[in-house]
Amino acid sequence: MSRLFDLTGKVAAVIGGGSGIGAAVARGAAGQGASVVVLDANETAAQSVASSIGAGAAGLDIRTAREVGSALDAVVRDKGSLDIVICTPSINVRKPILQYAEEEFDRVVDVNLKGSFNVLQAAGRIMIAERRGSIVIFSSIRSQVVEPGQSVYAMTKAGIVQLVRTAAAEFGAFGVRVNAIGPGVVETPLTAPIKAHREWYDAYANKSALRRWATAEEMVGPTLFLASDAASYVTGTILFADGGWTAVDGRFTPPGM
């Protein structure tokens, strides 16, 4: 059974691998035997993670389709193939709808939604030609449930789910699988402002069934499951790694329970 999760001989591009969940996934993939390339908008951070695991690295802004295509083509030239692409980057501007500025809307959509589309398109072209591969894009619990101030972020994360489903339908005949991960609250640089606000941090912890936040390392298992042969018949789905957040409706325990 352990061979199902073995990535030996696989080439994995981890986009957003310079920090947070992406860095944890890059380390995890390397630990499972994959030949990893770390791609990140912060090239210095990408190089730092890559040097710690013996991987390659390069800078990448996923907002530009040509740059994404060039980066993934370079992986194929250098490594000979591209078996796994994992895309983690996203940004959030927490504001009520009526206060959202046009440039803020564009910024969130460009990274989260357009960037994910660019990755799906570039990776899909390569993998369809190779007639194999696994693409994992990061969505969120916000694709399903929301709170005030999450309008544009939630919109993009829901959009990612539909992009993934469509890509799975279009790429499946060529042996290419496409799936999404839906994290709950994870301690990363993106969520640092929440951690600094104790009441907010505790409220999020208590919302999940496990009553705590996740670490970035706890996203590695679900991600590598989808990337590996253990998920060879899994495509077009979103795997929630949210500590039960989307399963639990409220916190009141009825008397006698």
* pLDDT band (50, 70, 90) for residue 152: very high
pLDDT tens-digit map of 113-139: 999 999 999 999 999 999 999 999 999
Name residue, tokens 């969520």: 191
Indicate the pTM of the whole model. 0.95
Burial of 104 (0-12, 13-18, 19+ CB in 10 A): middle
> What is the rounded CA–CA span in Å between residue 246 and residue 249?
8
Alpha carbons within 13 angstroms on the beta-carbon side of residue 131 total: 1
* Residues assigned a catalytic role: 153
Q: Is the pLDDT of residue 195 over 90?
A: no
* pLDDT band (50, 70, 90) for residue 254: low
Ordered by where they begin, the domains of the chain are 2-241 (3.40.50.720)
CA proximity to 112, closest of 233, 16, 255: 16
Poorest-pLDDT segment among 125-139, 158-172, 192-206? 192-206
